[in-house]
Structures are given as C-alpha cells and as structure tokens.
Amino acid sequence: MGRARRSLLIPSLICAISLLLTFHNASSFYLPGVAPEDFQKGDLLSVKVNKLTSTKTQLPYSFYSVPFCRPENIIDSRENLGEVLRGDRIENSPFTFKMREPEMCHVVCRLVLDDKKAKEFKEKIEDEYRVNMILDNLPLVVPVRRLEQEAPPAYQQGVYIGVKGQYAGSKDEKHFIHNHLTFAVKYHKDLQTDSARIVGFEVMPFRTDMADNISSVKHEYDGKWADNTRLTTCDPHAKRTVSNSNSPQEVEANQEIIFTYDVEFQESDVKWASRWDAYLLMADDQIHWFSIVNSLMIVLFLSGMVAMIMLRTLYRDISKYNELETQEEAQEETGWKLVHSDVFRPPSNSDLLCVYVGTGVQFFGMMLVTMMFAVLGFLSPSNRGGLMTAMLLLWVFMGLFAGYSASRLYKMFKGTEWKRIALRTAFLFPATVFVIFFVLNALIWGQKSSGAVPFGTMFALVFLWFGISVPLVFVGSYVGFRKPTIEDPVKTNKIPRQIPEQAWYMNPIFSVLIGGILPFGAVFIELFFILTSIWLNQFYYLFGFLFIVFVILIVTCAEITIVLCYFQLCSEDYLWWWRSYLTSGSSALYLFLYATFYFFTKLDITKPVSGILYFGYMLIASYAFFVLTGTIGFYACFWFTRLIYSSVKID
C-alpha cells in the first residue's frame, strides 16, 4: 500500500512542476481583445507621470507635489479602484517624444530654487524617492547589471530624484538632482507596414565618475536666459552631449536648475505580446525555483507520511471497536470512542465560531477564484490595480457563501435567530479591518501623501460593503437556514462528561502553537517574495507558484489539524471545535512574527509613521490569514470527526 502511494506521489510531483513551468513561461501574455497600438514615424508619444515612491517611507506622493517642470494644463488620468488604493496618481507630463526621431539635450524647463523648493527636493532625495513614468502602458525602468556577466539585466522601477554624494577630496555631503535623463525607447518594427510597437521604456545614467551612477549636470549658457537660449554644456545643433567633465547639479537655495533629456530609439526583436517578460524576470530566479521546489517536496513527503499513519491507525481502531461484542469489553472502551456522546456537543461561544467560519469561507472563495484568474493570465501586470480591484469585488460577492455556511453551522448548534448571526457575519471582520484601515489612512492623510484614500473612494468602499456584501450575506444566511439541519452521527448526552487530566504536550496552548508551524513552513518562502514585491516595489507575477503553494497550504492545514484532533480525542478531550480552528489558524502568529523579522532585517524604514503603516497592514494580512487557515482546519476536523464516528457501531 505504501509503495503504491509513493509511486503515485512521484508522477504527481512531476506533473505539478510541469504545470508550474507552463504557467511561469506564460505568465505575461495579454488577454484577447487588448489591442496593441501601432505608431508611425513621427507620431507623438506622450509620457505620463505616476506617483513618487520610496522604500524607506512607504508613503507615495503625486509627481507635482514636488516643484518639477509642469505642462500648461495638468490632466489626471482616470484610475480604477485598485489604483486609487495603491496610491497611483497618473497625470500628463512635459516629456513628449516623436516616434523613431531621436532628440538630444531637449530643454524641459528652468527653475530657480527658493528655500522651500530646495528643502522639498532635499527631503525627497534624503528619503530615496523615485520618479515613476509610463509610456504606452509600460513603466519606466532602470537596467541594473547582475553579478553574472552573461545574465540579462534586472530592472528597477523608477529613477531616483537624486542622490547624496561628495566631491573628490571633500568630506561634505551634498544633494545632487537628476536633471538630465537619457531615455531609451525600444520598439518592434513591422516590416510590411513600417509601423512600430513600443516594447521597452528605460532610462540610463550617463555619469559614472562618482560613487553612484547619476544623471546630474550643472548646465551652463552664455548671456541671459531666454526661451531660445542654447546651452554650452550640451547642444543638439553642435551634436555635443553632456559628459563626465561637466559638474553635477547641486540642490541649494537660489540655485538655478535646468531640466533636460535625451531620447534614443532602439529596434528590438522582442514582440509586443512578450514585452513584459523582461520586467517580470526576477533577480534571484534560480534561488526562487530551488526553494519552492524543495519546499514542495518536503511538504508533500510529510503530508504523505501523515496520511499513511492516520489511515493505518484509524483502520486498526475502527476494526477493534467494531469487534467488541461482550458487555465487559464495551465497558472497557478507551480512546476516542469513549467520548462519542460528547464529541458533538455545541462549544462555548458557538455564535462567534459560526461567524469566523463563515468569514473564512468568504476568504477562501475570494483567494481561490482570484488565483485561478491570475494563473490563467486575466490579471496581467499591465492592468494596474486589477488584482486589488478583483479581490475586493470577489470578497463582496463571496458574502453569499459566508452567510450560507455560517447559518448552516448555526442551525446545527440548535440556533434559531439566523438574522443575528447574519448581521455579525456581515460586520465583525469587515468592521475590524475598516477601523484599522481608517486609522492608517488618517496617518497617511496627515503626511499629505497621495496614498491617502480620498472621500469618494471611501464612500465607494462603504457602498460595496453595505450595499452589496451585507445583503448577500443575509440572502446566503436565509438560504442556509432553510436547509435541513445537519444531523450528528451519534447522540449527545444531556450531562457533559468530565475530561481527565491531560498530559503536558496535550495542553491546548502548546498543541495550538505546534499546529501552526507546518502550515507556515509551507508558505514562508513564497511569503518572502510577496513581501519583497509589496514593500520593495518589485513586480510579482508568479501565480503558478502561488497557486501550488496555496494547494499545499490547504492540504497541510487539513492534515495537521486532523492529526492533533485525533490525538486530542484519544486523550478523551472532546472540546475540539475551537481548538481545530485555532490549530491551523495559529500559523498567522508565525506570519506576523516573520513580518516583524523581515521589517528589521530587510527594510530600511526609519520614520515612525511608516513603521506604523507596515505593522498595521501586516496585522490586517495576518488576521485574514488566521481566518482563512482556521476555517480550512475546522472543516477538515469537522469532516474527520463525522467520518470516524459514523464508521463505528454505537449502541
């Protein structure tokens, strides 16, 4: 039997890895109906600007919150719900190109800094803010060389506003602004029509003589400044470009800053449908693959071992109990059969358990459908905010299943007031998250960040909650309560049985904490990449991996809960309802502890507000993870107890 299971396990593992390879290689295809835009030579290309971002503060700001060059009229692009929640603020810019027509030293504007403007620029440079731009729906990236010479470059989103540095032989640290950008627009040309499609948008530093590669130059000119003034540091008429011999541009009060850019066009073999592949290529791709596959094999091996032990042990127990014939043997029952008349006794705070189980079902449905859509390519990174919008809408509509599952369980516990349980299911978890979110949003608002959710969006969120989610929860509860009551496989005594003294290792706190280790171990490697994507402003689109890890998480939560539930019942402790929920749900505690470890080891956050934001959002994520994993463990244990007690003869 064991050999057969092992022989089936290996092909299953190979199949899973093959699926991962397929999804990984096809991770960035575009949906049917998303049409590319063709550009003829000389067509106008409008560059849009997005938020300023920093991994040090985690507080985004709109581009024009800093005194950059402005167009005559600033036009806001229409953002979707997910973009607004992410803090995206997409606007037009003074950067305009003409397709396949290179430009050299194009003057954007001239600024003279006063004390306030100089201070604003210095603060943003100090906090390592980056400028994010968009061309034909592609984000601006900076290519970064990898250690391996032959490896393709990694890409950093956005270009730093400036850097801190020192002149040679000086110890004084200065702030230098990146006022001269060299853009590279890559295009794929159609030989038949002579049209082209944009497949890359990069910016490259030109200065390499300082500690950091920077794009800063102190422009010079003769005479007084006018609109037609020609620069002496670079001149397109004389084919003279900026060079390392030019001094960098300092940020100081009363200093003059002239913003310029070069743009070159490079023909590329990359096709439009594959243009996101380079962006999504991870810097530590091999480590990621090795870690995930290694974790997959270990968890599958442990799961197989646990399953075999449980099946053999249970088979022996059920056979032994069914062979008891004499009255004396029946009176000497031991183990889990002894508590058959108490095992389905409703727990304390059963209403709260019903609410949490219903909320967990809502989360499970949202996660499952979201990842299925993502794996199939429906949530392409080209659709900014699409993932968050999809998750919010799915959460709202999954309220139907939350109400249904909560009321079904409530009715099994002999409850009669289904409206009360529906109301608590609709409000407990969302209200808790909304209060935390509102406090965090107030802090962001106080920092005047674009990450603060505006009133209109807040109203939309409240409408989704009260206008759609709450009614659906009530509809689900009504349907669930109308269904026949779930009958227990054995009868419950009126007087509860006394629980004997338990061994130290069966202490509820100890067993619950032990139970959360294995589910957390199944996801913590993938968790590292997800946290890096969120807090270090990197792309994450390995949903093939994530879906397999999610399946492993489900299996692990179910099995570890069943094992510990079996040991608990064998110890004649029948209070399994809440413990089954908390056993796998305790993995959320380890998730929060790991997030704390990640904060102190990987992030460079120093501002108190930014730290509060990090821990606030990770608290929400951990709470959601607790509800999700707890519900998986509860239903696994619920199915397990009903199965074993319906399999034995009970007088």
pLDDT at 504 > cutoff 90: no
pLDDT at 482 > cutoff 80: yes
State the Cα–Cα distance between residues 453 and 88, nearest whole angstrom.
10
Reference 453, options 87, 89, 8; nearest CA is 87
Q: Using alpha carbons only, how large is the chain's radius of gyration in Å?
A: 30
3-state secondary structure of 282: coil
pLDDT at 213 > cutoff 60: no
Q: What is the mean pLDDT of residues 283-290?
A: 59
Q: Residue 2's pLDDT is what?
A: 41
How does residue 521 score in pLDDT terms, banded at 50, 70 and 90?
confident
pLDDT at 381 > cutoff 80: no
Instruction: Name residue 468's amino acid.
Output: I
| pTM of the entire predicted model | 0.85
Of 34 and 487, the one with more pLDDT: 487
Of 281 and 506, the one with more pLDDT: 506
**Phi, psi at residue 170, to the nearest 5°?**
-115, 150
Q: What is the mean pLDDT of residues 307-321?
A: 68
State the Cα–Cα distance between residues 111 and 259, nearest whole angstrom.
8
pLDDT in tens, 628-639: 999 999 999 999
Edge-to-edge order in the sheet of strand 180-189: 103-112, 256-267, 180-189, 196-204, 141-144, 154-157
Q: Find out whether 583 and 515 touch, Cβ atoms under 8 Å.
A: yes
pLDDT at 496 > cutoff 60: yes
Contacts of 511 (CB under 8 A, 6+ apart): 505, 564, 567, 568, 579, 583
Contacts of 97 (CB under 8 A, 6+ apart): 44, 45, 47, 103, 183, 185, 263
State the Cα–Cα distance between residues 628 and 79, nearest whole angstrom.
30
Q: Find out whether 257 and 110 touch, Cβ atoms under 8 Å.
A: yes
How does residue 27 score in pLDDT terms, banded at 50, 70 and 90?
very low
DSSP of 358-391 = HHHHHHHHHHHHHHHHHHTTSS-TTSTTHHHHHH
Instruction: Name residue 584's amino acid.
Output: S
Q: Residue 474's pLDDT is what?
A: 95
Least confident interval from 138-152, 293-307, 404-418, 617-631 = 293-307
Least confident interval from 55-64, 281-290, 321-330, 481-490 = 321-330
State the Cα–Cα distance between residues 579 and 576, nearest whole angstrom.
5
State the Cα–Cα distance between residues 621 and 628, nearest whole angstrom.
11
Contacts of 486 (CB under 8 A, 6+ apart): 408, 409, 411, 412
What average pLDDT is seen over the chain? 82
pLDDT in tens, 449-478: 988 988 888 999 999 999 999 999 999 999
How does residue 285 score in pLDDT terms, banded at 50, 70 and 90?
low
Helix-strand-coil percent breakdown of the chain, rounded to 5? Answer: 50, 15, 35
Q: Residue 1's pLDDT is what?
A: 39
**Phi, psi at residue 53, to the nearest 5°?**
-125, 150
CA distances from 357 to 168, 403, 408, 639 (A): 65, 10, 11, 14
Q: Which residues of 119-145 are buried (b: 16+ CB within 10 A; e: fewer)?
A: ebbbebbebbbbbbbbbbbbbbbbeee
Task: State the residue for tokens 């529906």.
Answer: 422
Percent of the chain with pLDDT over 70: 83
Q: Residue 230's pLDDT is what?
A: 83
Q: Residue 323's pLDDT is what?
A: 67
Q: What is the mean pLDDT of residues 569-577?
A: 84
Q: What is the mean pLDDT of residues 160-171?
A: 80
Q: Residue 54's pLDDT is what?
A: 92
**Phi, psi at residue 446, to the nearest 5°?**
-65, -25
How does residue 396 score in pLDDT terms, banded at 50, 70 and 90?
very high
Other beta carbons less than 10 A from residue 641's beta carbon: 25
pLDDT in tens, 16-26: 444 443 444 33
How does residue 9 score in pLDDT terms, banded at 50, 70 and 90?
very low
Contacts of 273 (CB under 8 A, 6+ apart): 29, 30, 36
Q: Find out whether 425 and 496 touch, Cβ atoms under 8 Å.
A: no
Of 595 and 284, the one with more pLDDT: 595
Percent of the chain with pLDDT over 90: 33
Token readout for 188 is 């794929």
Of 207 and 394, the one with more pLDDT: 394
Reference 89, options 80, 81, 79; nearest CA is 79
Q: Residue 481's pLDDT is what?
A: 92
The winner for highest mean pLDDT among 259-263, 278-282, 315-319 is 259-263
State the Cα–Cα distance between residues 100 and 62, nearest whole angstrom.
30
By CB atoms closer than 10 A (0-12, 13-18, 19+), residue 509 is exposed
Q: What is the mean pLDDT of residues 280-284?
A: 60
The winner for highest mean pLDDT among 315-319, 360-364, 533-537, 601-605 is 360-364
pLDDT in tens, 431-442: 999 999 999 999
State the Cα–Cα distance between residues 116 and 174, nearest whole angstrom.
17
How does residue 211 score in pLDDT terms, banded at 50, 70 and 90?
very low
Q: Residue 465's pLDDT is what?
A: 93
Q: Residue 32's pLDDT is what?
A: 40
| Beta strands 174-177 and 159-160, pairing class | unpaired
DSSP of 599-626 = HHHH----SHHHHHHHHHHHHHHHHHHH
Reference 395, options 429, 419, 346; nearest CA is 429
Q: What is the mean pLDDT of residues 532-558?
A: 82
How does residue 341 score in pLDDT terms, banded at 50, 70 and 90?
confident
DSSP H stretches of helix in 99-249: 115-126
pLDDT at 589 > cutoff 70: yes
